[in-house]
Chains A and B, each alone.
Chain A
Amino acid sequence: MARPSNHFQSTVGSKIVMALSGLGLVIYVIFHMLGNLQVFEGSHALNGYAAFLREMPILLWTARAGLLSIVVLHIMLAIQLTLRNRRARPVAYVVRQYRQASFSSRTMAASGLVLLLFIIFHLLHLTAGVIDSSSADRLDAEGHRDVYGKIIHAFQNPFIVALYLAGQLGLGLHLNHAVTSSLQTLGLEHAAFNRLFKAAGPTVALLVVLGNAAIILAIFLGIVRG
């Protein structure tokens, strides 16, 4: 048997792993957004959902470990490829004119970095409760952890709102190029579907960002209250 590991050490192989890991994260981000939209159904729905997730510690921790390893893989390959690509052109052009490369495609490393910083902040803030511990372990009327109250409290603060919206900007920029690009990297191309594939990136990016931003803004503007 030829070892498949060698197959993924080439640049094309690395890109394929990046595309697969990235798409895994995209699927997670979509479900994360959909789950959180339950904020609009009130504290009962959201806290019930959060409790439901925590009722299955094995599943929860498997998912967390899986996500973490996917993120680490994605970032390590991103760094490796980005360094390689920098080396591939040691002397830059003095005049450079792009013909069709989108803004988001040119800023993947930057938007990825924004995302990484945001993810760390987000985990410290809402998952671990390190940044704001004031409402960390409060329980709601039904004895569930009061995730709803925690979110309502968090998004009263304009600084937190600004940070989260900046994170969404990074996410939108990254996904706008990433989803379409990953389909091309996986060799998905067909005359009948190419328009669909081209639209996939912007569509996914827009839906995810709109969904997330709606939650943040609805709370900040007092449309959803505690």
Chain B
Amino acid sequence: MKFSLNIWRQKGPDEKGSFMTYEARDVSAGMSFLEMLDGVNQGLIAKGEEPVAFEQDCREGICGSCSLVINGIPHGPDRGITTCQLYMRRFPDGAAITIEPWRARAFPIIKDLVVDRRALDRVMQAGGYISVNTGGAVDGNVLLISKDQAETAMDAASCIGCGACVAACKNASAMLFVAAKVSHLALLPQGKPERTRRVKAMLGVMDREGFGSCGNQNECEAVCPKGISVRFIAALNREYLRAGVVELGLPAEPESPHAESA
């Protein structure tokens, strides 16, 4: 198969970028999208040109490293997969394919198609954890969690932090990501003690990093490789409302970060 690729090239964070056209030749239908790009890069290297920078790691849809907006859709035309799981048989032979990086103020471009997604890490650092004393692991089945609750928490926890939700959102909002992280902890007994400060802290950092607000268009859900449902965004809104109510009854200078769980 043969493709004509229109790829965003940008030398560095502060450089001006532009689209460049490349031919991908001798592509087999069973190649993944990233393997196809590997081939193009081999050709560029052979010609002494700079290869196209893109992110990848596991290439099996679990790490959240790969990205790419392919013909206007983050992670490409198939639902429920990452770019590394997308195969070239999905495209008609000879097709023109436009490849862009995730676009968001909170995700500055590092090079070509690679963006800096550490804003999501900083949101996690603000509260995407539980504070526990170290020591021996708790015995199994000491904390009983109903099947339903465990399954729902797992649905939320399957977020791999790829940022496609941000890329797809008209407002570059990170609500689906934050919703997944906040919900999965709020659903489990281990996460409950810190839930009030967690939701406020994580949403506070989300705002500070320059993500937009949620317009409830549900584009995020449609491109999420893990099918995280927007019902978790409703759950996040509930958590936030709950935190507001709970805080009315708390002292004005709330606790040091870990006081709630102490």
Residue of A at shortest CB range from B178? A12
Instruction: Among A93, A96, A185, point to the contact of B237 (Cβ < 8 A).
Output: A185
Cα–Cα, bound, A106→B222 (Å)? 15
Q: How many A-B contacts are there with CB distance less than 8 Å?
A: 144
Q: A13-B240, A189-B235 are in contact. Are A105 and B213 (CB under 8 A)?
A: no
* Contact yes or no, B170 A106, CB < 8 A: yes
* Contact yes or no, B203 A105, CB < 8 A: no
* Contact yes or no, B73 A189, CB < 8 A: no
Q: Give the residues in chain B near A189, CB-CB below 8 Å.
A: 231, 234-235, 238
Instruction: Among B204, B217, B236, point to the contact of A101 (Cβ < 8 A).
Output: B217
Mark out the residues of chain B between 199 and 227 whose CB falls within 8 Å of any chain A CB in the assembled complex.
200, 203-204, 206-207, 210-219, 221-223
* Contact yes or no, A187 B234, CB < 8 A: yes
* Contact yes or no, B247 A2, CB < 8 A: yes
* Contact yes or no, A89 B104, CB < 8 A: yes
Residue of A at shortest CB range from B100? A93
Q: Give the residues in chain A near B71, CB-CB below 8 Å.
A: 95, 97
Q: A97-B73, A106-B217 are in contact. Are A84 and B203 (CB under 8 A)?
A: no
* Contact yes or no, A88 B173, CB < 8 A: yes
Q: Give the residues in chain B near A98, CB-CB below 8 Å.
A: 219
Tell me if B103 counts as interface (CB < 8 A to partner A).
yes
* Contact yes or no, B216 A184, CB < 8 A: yes
Instruction: Among A12, A91, A188, point to the contact of B240 (Cβ < 8 A).
Output: A12
Tell me if B98 counts as interface (CB < 8 A to partner A).
yes
Mark out the residues of chain A between 55 and 101 whose CB falls within 8 Å of any chain B CB in the assembled complex.
81, 84-85, 87-101
List A residues at the B interface (Cβ < 8 Å): 1-4, 7, 10-16, 81, 84-85, 87-102, 105-106, 108, 177, 180-181, 184-189, 194
List B residues at the A interface (Cβ < 8 Å): 19, 69, 71-73, 98, 100, 103-106, 168, 170-173, 175, 200, 203-204, 206-207, 210-219, 221-223, 230-231, 233-241, 243-244, 247-250, 252, 254
